[in-house]
Structure 1
Amino acid sequence: MILEGEKVILAYSGGLDTSIIVPWLKENYKCEVIAACIDVGQGSETQMIKEKAIKSGASKVYLEDVKEEFVVNYIYPTLKSGAIYEGKYLLGTSFARPLIAKKLVEIAHKENAKYIAHGCTGKGNDQVRFEVSIKALDPTIKIIAPWRVWNIKSREEEIEYAIKKGIPISVSKEKIYSVDKNLWHISHEGGDLEDPKNEPKDTLFEMVVPPEKAPDCPEYITIEFKKGIPVKVNDKEFDPVELIEEINTIGARNGIGIADIVENRLVGMKSRGVYETPGGTILYYAHKELESLVIDKETARFKDIVAQKYADLVYNGLWFSQLREALDAFVEETQSVVTGKVKLKLYKGNIITSGIESPYSLYNEELATFGKDSVYDQKDAEGFINLFGLPLKMRAYQLLKINKDKIINKKEEKESIT
């Protein structure tokens, strides 16, 4: 397919995949490539990105800083929902992709481009997340996914292509982990991690100190929430981006947030990844602890069901779905009382609750006390137990009758035989 004169917006990270896609697109499609790097907290990776993209053959480079939007409109809603995929994954890559897709579409509109390209493989989840999000925002835009059409079959072949084209790369055949980094987490896949029996090497970790190397003394942290959103750390107010960075720093030095996961990808296969999410792990824990104090039992149980569905939607790339927006409405109602402080003790990868307080607490010390109280009449429990146990009592009578009838029937059968 020749796209002479057409513009293609490339989701550009500066990594191995997207670095070689620039010359590959120009070589195979004869198109103009505009690189778009959407900064969701990659850190130093973005510093030289514009120069690298131009050297690779891009005609123009967009560098969009969306970190605050990422925290406020993607991280916070997911945190409030309590969504965790398969009980371990805090969705760090998953909820960054719809935001990146949104910005790619905006740039495509600005440049009057009809095509968007990405460097996702045909085996992964990200291809779905990007493309479904783009379709939800502008179904007229066409997608180019090189990994699904080119002849390159491995990262080793990618490296050879990059060397051939004179493109500087930061990976080698000896270190070929696939790494995704943003403000929320760092994920590691590939290399020796592809065999689940291999323990991650300490040299793998970029953010979190291995728990055994963390300080020998615990560190306390207090997080204050307002309607489900963290607003202060250790009584100091931060803006959204600074808050995540601060908690990341505290959690990382205490060995918090390493998750080794064999997860079920949307495309049907299992994959193994190692994740570093220090701040996110602390925030999820603290948020759940505060909810335990202020949300009633039935609402909390139903919210757990919502959280699982929310996690599936985000993981599967359905951020811009009506169902996700509808679930947000339920979550927002529950968060009206999630205000208060949570004190935690961090020690060598562990998080231990050290105190919770809220003006909306449902905990009543006078009701819960084992001491003398004047608000609870223990005699009331007898009537409650009688009513609560009534179905079991009636079932017991039923079983007695069934057993009695069986004995009578056996006796009658025996008499008829004789």
Structure 2
Amino acid sequence: MTSPKKVVLAYSGGLDTSIILKWLQVEYGCEVVTFTADLGQGEELEPARKKAEMLGINPDNIFIEDLREEFVRDFVFPMFRANAQYEGLYLLGTAIARPLISKRLVEIAAETGADAVSHGATGKGNDQVRFELSAYALNPEITTIAPWREWDLGSRTRLLEFAEQHQIPIAKDKRGEAPFSVDANLLHTSSEGKILEDPAQEAPDYVYQRTVHPEDAPNEPEYVEIDFEQGDAVGLNGERMSPATILTKLNDYGRKHGIGRLDLVEGRFVGMKSRGIYETPGGTILLDAHRAIESITMDRMAIHLKDEIMPKYAELIYNGFWFSPEREMLQALIDKSQEHVTGTVRMKLYKGLARCVARWSDHSLYSEEQVTFEEDMGAYDQSDAQGFIQLQGLRLRLLANRNRKFQ
């Protein structure tokens, strides 16, 4: 590989990416551009700017951007239209953030004349795949640099030695191995590694950072109404809000009531299994509400077809194929299904649970006249069911008659 002249680094300002920044300068002798995305992780990002400047980065080469609205509007909401859950449980909070970060890395590379992008994902995880597949899909000529696959800094001790050698500030709590690794954005928080690596051991409660313990949640339930238009949440309790504002407020509801905790052993794309502790408070409320509004506005067979393709759609996101043609094809089908998914859902929040207790819509397919146990005034002729059952049972009767001959 030809040595890059300028590299755009996905930079958090933490120890690992600060070491990567310096390593790129030392190993490749290249100019480094830093990009720090505000995806709602809840951290002050200005220290990242100061640290990059301290490490010799030109202020014009430091990019810090608030991407919360774009993240929710263009990535989280399309995914939630599909009710996507990887392996039936995981709401893909980390996976859905990576294509947006990669998109901006590639765009900034074009703006600054950089010929490479770099990230801090390790060689064992999924994120390296997600970052790089997204980058190649957007710019097939881009070079990607993954230091964790190249350098010999394979231990925390070696990292600290490198940091001290190059005068990189080390927070006191970093002198020793962190108890677990945390990734956060507006949709979720994930914790992995160290004390969580034994799936036979219950995760300590201090691992959970975004939700109160359900047992400590309020003893009284709380209700929230979510308004939907064409599959997307557009307001809470009758007040119209932006996508990021809605998710932020749902996170507040979920945090208070201990909603959205998940202890999952999942199959990574690279082949191994890993255990993660996920907290997706607002997303959990939103997913259940979305399914509720679909239940009265979507046709039965359309819902069933959508449920059939959901695992494939979720797998594509998990594996890093957001910008693939197959994901975009599935998205077109999903978005078509959402044309009438408009209405309001009332959710009851209590002790770790979010349940739909009411839903209504001008687009509803639900008919009280047809389903009532009282007199239906001719809305449904029950005698029609006889012919329907006869036709549905024809093949079963033919099979039964044939099988009798060979018993």
| Corresponding residue number in structure 1 for 2:50 | 51
Q: Cα deviation per residue 1:278-321 (whole Å; 9 max; x = unaligned)?
A: 00111011001111111122111110122111111111111111
| Corresponding residue number in structure 2 for 1:412 | none
1:149-228 matched pairs, under 5 angstroms: 149-170=150-171, 171-172=173-174, 173=176, 175-228=178-231
Per-residue deviation at 1:160? 4.2
1:385 is aligned to 2:389: yes
Aligned partners of 1:37 and 1:238: how far apart in 2?
26
Q: 1:3 to 1:389 in 2, by over 3 A?
A: closer
Which segment is superposed worse, 234-243 or 259-268? 234-243
Which segment is superposed worse, 275-284 or 51-60? 51-60
Q: Which of 394, 398, 403 is the equivalent residue of 2:402?
A: 398
The one-letter amino acid paired with 1:129 is R
Q: Secondary structure at the match of 1:73?
A: helix
Q: Secondary structure at the match of 2:339?
A: helix
Unaligned runs of 5+ in 1: 404-418
| Corresponding residue number in structure 1 for 2:92 | 91
Q: Cα deviation per residue 1:86-124 (whole Å; 9 max; x = unaligned)?
A: 111111111111111111111111111111111110001
Per-residue deviation at 1:156? 4.8
Aligned partners of 1:9 and 1:396: how far apart in 2?
68
Q: 1:208 to 1:325 in 2, by over 3 A?
A: same
| Corresponding residue number in structure 2 for 1:322 | 325
1:5-404 matched pairs, under 5 angstroms: 6-59=5-58, 60-170=61-171, 171-172=173-174, 173=176, 175-374=178-377, 375-403=379-407
Larger radius of gyration: 1
Aligned partners of 2:158 and 2:278: how far apart in 1?
26
Unaligned runs of 5+ in 2: none
The one-letter amino acid paired with 1:254 is H
Aligned partners of 1:286 and 1:135: how far apart in 2?
36
* Cα contact 1:225–1:231 (8 A) shared by 2: yes
The one-letter amino acid paired with 2:381 is D
Q: Cα deviation per residue 1:54-103 (whole Å; 9 max; x = unaligned)?
A: 22343331112211111111011000011111111111111111111111
* Cα contact 2:313–2:330 (8 A) shared by 1: yes
> Where do 4+ consecutive residues of structure 1 move more than 4 Å?
1-4
Aligned partners of 2:161 and 2:265: how far apart in 1?
30
* Cα contact 2:288–2:355 (8 A) shared by 1: no
Q: Secondary structure at the match of 1:376?
A: coil
Q: 1:134 to 1:222 in 2, by over 3 A?
A: same
* Cα contact 1:262–1:273 (8 A) shared by 2: yes
Per-residue deviation at 1:50? 0.2
Aligned partners of 2:284 and 2:256: how far apart in 1?
13
* Cα contact 1:116–1:143 (8 A) shared by 2: yes
Per-residue deviation at 1:162? 2.8
* Cα contact 2:255–2:281 (8 A) shared by 1: yes
The one-letter amino acid paired with 1:34 is V
Aligned partners of 1:353 and 1:157: how far apart in 2?
52
Q: Secondary structure at the match of 1:354?
A: strand
Aligned partners of 2:185 and 2:301: how far apart in 1?
35
Aligned partners of 2:385 and 2:143: how far apart in 1?
66
The one-letter amino acid paired with 1:135 is Y
Aligned partners of 2:46 and 2:31: how far apart in 1?
23
Aligned partners of 2:236 and 2:169: how far apart in 1?
40
Aligned residues: 402
Q: 1:166 to 1:212 in 2, by over 3 A?
A: farther
Q: Secondary structure at the match of 2:405?
A: helix
* Cα contact 1:129–1:316 (8 A) shared by 2: yes
Q: Cα deviation per residue 1:373-417 (whole Å; 9 max; x = unaligned)?
A: 1212222222222221111112222122334xxxxxxxxxxxxxx
Which segment is superposed worse, 167-176 or 358-367? 167-176
Aligned partners of 2:370 and 2:230: how far apart in 1?
26
Q: Secondary structure at the match of 1:336?
A: coil
Q: 1:207 to 1:61 in 2, by over 3 A?
A: same
* Cα contact 1:2–1:29 (8 A) shared by 2: no
Q: Cα deviation per residue 1:29-61 (whole Å; 9 max; x = unaligned)?
A: 111211111222223241311001222343331
With structure 2 as the length reference, what TM-score do the two structures score? 0.95
